[in-house]
């Protein structure tokens, strides 16, 4: 396991002691998530970043000495580094250097499981690499040669230019494949929208407990262990958006999405790369913001989440605030509801999950209405559909068809308008 020395700079222009402290603490978790051991930490307050080395000249020497003393294999900066800063620091410190963006990209690349997630991460990584090709290694200055599409465009073309062209061609190819996957995802979303089943998305800071909530619902209301999502106590355990149909007995069904977690200073390229995945959030009817209430920085986490939601255009969607891990704060396993949009709970408590479900059902109730139908016997497909997608309060087999008293989505009520009856069972 590589040993990592962490370096952070608090710039005067955006100096907020609490935010800086949170970012530095977060770096420790990110380093661990990247399978490295944090062995030391250096901080510096500066009016502005040094254009050559980001940190001051004296701090460069101090960092080099500490890296040698602690036998660090790599130095990780909490800040984003320019290509020149990266090159100079690598030379001055005489060891590999990584910035926050590269670190997060490394974590994402190891966590990605589906083809879409892998492509999204790789696109973000290549976009970040392109301007940093200069000076990454000595070999880039050598003359290079290739055949076919990669042949030299003229005498004296450097390997740097070839490498850049290779990356650009690879980027184009991967973006094209992602567009195809995004098209398939859009088709799936349209089909789900046509069904009238409400869409609920779990959002929030990474490692807040979104996947635990998803799996708690799946354990209770969905058969099949294979339908559960990956769950682990680590940053960015989930990168792939998973959609599952939740159909509690006696309550209306809804589609529940588990999404990638947010983090402070999430690289813009990553937000952009995952935009198609985050469409599930933007098109949801209800958001559940999962908050780790046991984390002393939970208010900052809420701000980061809401800033990210604003960036993707999802800030106006109705929301439930689920303050998870409240049991670790001495509040017990039973959920406490405040107002109509806040619940203090434990995702591992059955009673807490029942309270959250009741809150979800209440929020979605306006999308449903009570309707009675008489369905002709030859339309057994409609009877089957309503049994699967509506709450059926009463069913009778009459001479003229199957009489059903239901609570259905307004979309389905309009879809089957011709079969509606009044409660007496007579045609309207």
Q: CB-based contacts of 385: which residues, under 8 Å, 6+ apart?
A: none
Sign of torsion, CA 298 4 57 62? positive
pLDDT the model gives residue 13:
64
Q: Which of 124-133, 183-192, 241-250, 296-305 has the lowest mean pLDDT?
A: 183-192
Q: Is 200 exposed, middle or buried (0-12, 13-18, 19+ CB in 10 A)?
A: buried
Residue extents of the structural domains in the chain: 2-107, 114-181, 196-365, 367-421
Q: Which of 210, 191, 302 is nearest to 256 (CA)?
A: 210
For residues 171 and 374, which has the higher predicted lDDT (pLDDT)?
A: 374
Q: Which CATH architecture has domain 196-365?
A: 3-Layer(aba) Sandwich (3.40)
Tell me if the domain spanning 2-107 has CATH number 3.90.1150.10: no
Label residues 236-258 b or e (16+ Cβ within 10 Å = b). bbbbbbbbbbbebeebbbbbbbb
Give me the CATH topology for the region 367-421: Alpha-Beta Plaits (3.30.70)
pLDDT the model gives residue 4:
94
Secondary structure tally for the chain: helices H, strands E = 13, 15
Per DSSP, the three-state class of 326 is helix
Please give the model's pTM, rounded to 2 decimal places: 0.74
pLDDT the model gives residue 156:
42
- Compute the average pLDDT of residues 183-204: 78
Q: Which of 63-72, 78-87, 142-151, 162-171 has the lowest mean pLDDT?
A: 142-151
pLDDT > 60? residue 425? no
Q: Which of 227, 212, 210, 240 is nearest to 111 (CA)?
A: 240
pLDDT the model gives residue 291:
96
Q: CB-based contacts of 158: which residues, under 8 Å, 6+ apart?
A: 140, 141, 142, 143, 144
**Cβ(352)–Cβ(345) under 8 Å?**
yes
**How far is the C-alpha of 422 from the C-alpha of 73, rounded, in Å?**
75
Segment 385-396, tens digit of pLDDT: 999 888 999 999
Q: Quick one: tokens of 315?
A: 């800030």
Q: Is 148 exposed, middle or buried (0-12, 13-18, 19+ CB in 10 A)?
A: exposed
């Amino acid at each position: 396991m590589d040993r990592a020395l962490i370096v952070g700079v608090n710039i005067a222009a955006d100096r907020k002691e609490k935010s800086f402290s949170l970012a530095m603490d977060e770096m420790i978790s990110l380093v661990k998530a990247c399978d490295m051991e944090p062995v030391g930490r250096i901080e510096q307050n500066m009016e502005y970043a040094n254009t050559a080395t980001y940190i001051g000249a004296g701090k460069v020497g101090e960092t080099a000495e500490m890296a040698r003393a602690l036998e660090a294999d790599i130095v990780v900066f909490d800040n984003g580094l320019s290509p020149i800063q990266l090159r100079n620091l690598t030379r001055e410190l005489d060891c590999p250097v990584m910035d926050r963006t590269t670190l997060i990209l490394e974590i994402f690349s190891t966590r990605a499981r589906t083809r879409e997630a892998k492509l999204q991460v790789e696109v973000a990584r290549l976009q970040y690499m392109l301007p940093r090709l200069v000076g990454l290694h000595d070999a880039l200055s050598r003359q290079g040669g290739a055949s076919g599409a990669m042949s030299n465009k003229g005498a004296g073309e450097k390997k740097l230019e070839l490498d850049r062209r290779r990356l650009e061609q690879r980027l184009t190819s991967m973006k094209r494949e992602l567009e195809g996957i995004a098209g398939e995802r859009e088709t799936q979303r349209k089909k789900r929208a046509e069904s009238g089943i409400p869409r609920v998305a779990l959002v929030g800071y990474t490692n807040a407990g979104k996947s635990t909530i998803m799996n708690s619902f799946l354990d209770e209301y969905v058969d099949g262990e294979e339908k559960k999502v990956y769950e682990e106590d680590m940053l960015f355990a989930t990168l792939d958006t998973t959609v599952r149909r939740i159909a509690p007995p006696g309550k209306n069904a809804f589609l529940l999405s588990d999404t990638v977690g947010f983090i402070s200073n999430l690289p813009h390229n990553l937000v952009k790369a995952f935009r198609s995945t985050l469409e599930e959030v933007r098109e949801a009817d209800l958001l559940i913001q999962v908050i780790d209430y046991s984390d002393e920085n939970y208010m900052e986490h809420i701000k980061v989440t809401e800033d990210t939601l604003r960036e993707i255009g999802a800030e106006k969607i109705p929301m439930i605030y689920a303050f998870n891990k409240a049991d670790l704060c001495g509040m017990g396993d039973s959920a406490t509801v405040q107002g109509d949009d806040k619940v203090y709970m434990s995702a591992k408590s059955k009673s807490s999950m029942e309270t959250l479900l009741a809150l979800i059902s209440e929020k979605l109730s306006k999308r449903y209405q009570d309707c009675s139908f008489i369905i002709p016997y030859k339309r057994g497909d409609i009877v089957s559909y309503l049994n699967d997608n509506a709450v059926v309060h009463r069913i009778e087999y009459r001479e003229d068809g199957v009489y059903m008293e239901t609570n259905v989505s307004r979309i389905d009520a309009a879809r089957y308008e011709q079969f509606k009856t009044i409660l007496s069972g007579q045609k309207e």
